[in-house]
Amino acid sequence: MKRLETDLHLHLDGSLSTDVVRLLAAEIGYDFEGRSVKESISVGEDCKSLVDYLKCFDLPAQLLQTEAALELASKDLVVRLAKQGLIYTEIRFAPQLHMRKGLTKEKVVEAVIRGVDKGVKEAGSIKAGILLCSMVNGSDKENEETFDIAGGYLNRGVVGVDIAGPEGMVPMAHFEPLFKKVYEKDIPFTIHAGECGDCENIIKAVSYGAKRIGHGCAAIQSDACMDLLKKEKITLEMCVISNLQTKAVASIEEHPLKAFYDRGIRVTYNTDNITVSDTSLLKEAELMKKHMGFTEADLRQMNRYALEGAFLNQEEKEKIIAFFDNNNYNE
C-alpha cells in the first residue's frame, strides 16, 4: 500500500498543464514571444513577493474565458491528480475572473462542475469538491454574488467558499459582513489569512466562523493565535513551496509547519498552484521530510487531518476516512 494523499488548497488557474495551456493558447493565437510554455506560467527563482507571484496568473486568465476551456482544464486537472495518487481534492477558483467573453458566473461554475465530474468519472479513484473564491481586490457586489451563487450550487459540485487575492490590500475587518452572511447560510468556508499578512487576520477569520485557514504562516507570531487554532480545531492549509516563493516565509528552516504540527495544530500540506509553483504533493512531501524532519507517519496524519477538515457531508466523510485508514500504509 502507498501513501494516499489529499490537496485541500489548490487553485484551478494556477494548475493548468502545459498541454492544456499550449492547446488553449493556440486557439486564441497567443504569442509566447520566444518563451517556453513553462516560463510563461511558472514563477521564476527571482520571485520577490506575493504580488510578483500573482503575475503568473495573467495568461491562465486569458485562456479560461469559455465554457469549453474551463471544462477541459477542470477535467484534465482532476485526472492528473488521480494519477498522482490523490483520493480527495478541493479545487478553488473565482468565477468573476472568467467573464471577459460574456459568460455569466453561473455558466462559469457549471462548466467547472462538468469538467470536475467528467474527471472524477474517468479516473474512478478520486473525489473532488469545488470552492468558489471572492477576491480581496474585488467589489463588494461581485463578492456577494459569488457567495450567493455558491449557495445555489452547494452539494451540487460546490462544497464551500474562500476569499483570495493580495492579502492586506483591504483590511480583513472589511469582509466581516460578507462572511457573516455565509455563516448564517451554513455554507462552509475557508479564508486566506496570515499568508503575507499578520496573525490578527487569522484571529479575525476564526472569529467569523472559518473552520479552515489558507496558509496561516503568521500564526507563529503569537502564542495566543496558535492556542486559538488548536483549541478551535482549525485546519491549516499550508503550502510550503508557494510560501517560500511568495516570501511569506524567508527560508525552509523558518517555515512554521513543523512547529504548528508539534504543537498539535491540525496542519495539512498542499500545493497551492501546481504549475505556477512547479510543484506536486510528492515534491512538497519530500521537501518536508528532508528539511523539516517529518516521517511518513506524520504525513499520514496530516492527510487524515485534511480529510477530517474536508467540506464533505458527514456520511461521505466517514466513508472516505474509512477507505483512507484501511488502505494507507503506516511507518
User: Alpha carbon of 43 to those of 55, 118, 214, 270, 274: distances in Å?
Assistant: 9, 29, 20, 17, 11
Beta strands 266-269 and 5-11 are: unpaired
Cα–Cα distance measured from residue 205 to residue 178, given in angstroms and rounded to the nearest whole number: 12
CB under 8 A, 24+ apart: contacts of 46-49: 47/245, 47/246, 47/247, 48/247, 49/196, 49/246, 49/247
Beta strands 5-11 and 127-135 are: unpaired
Cα–Cα distance measured from residue 113 to residue 171, given in angstroms and rounded to the nearest whole number: 32
Supply the DSSP string of 81-120, one letter for each residue: HHHTTEEEEEEEE-GGGG-TTS--HHHHHHHHHHHHHHHH
* Listed residue (162, 7, 175) closest to 94, CA to CA: 162
Cα–Cα distance measured from residue 253 to residue 293, given in angstroms and rounded to the nearest whole number: 11
First to last CA, the chain: 11
Set 90, 110, 167, 195: catalytic member: 195
H helix or E strand, kind and range, residue 305: helix 296-309
Instruction: Classify 216 as helix, strand or coil.
Output: coil
* 33 included as an active-site residue: no
Cα–Cα distance measured from residue 284 to residue 282, given in angstroms and rounded to the nearest whole number: 5
- Residues designated catalytic: 195
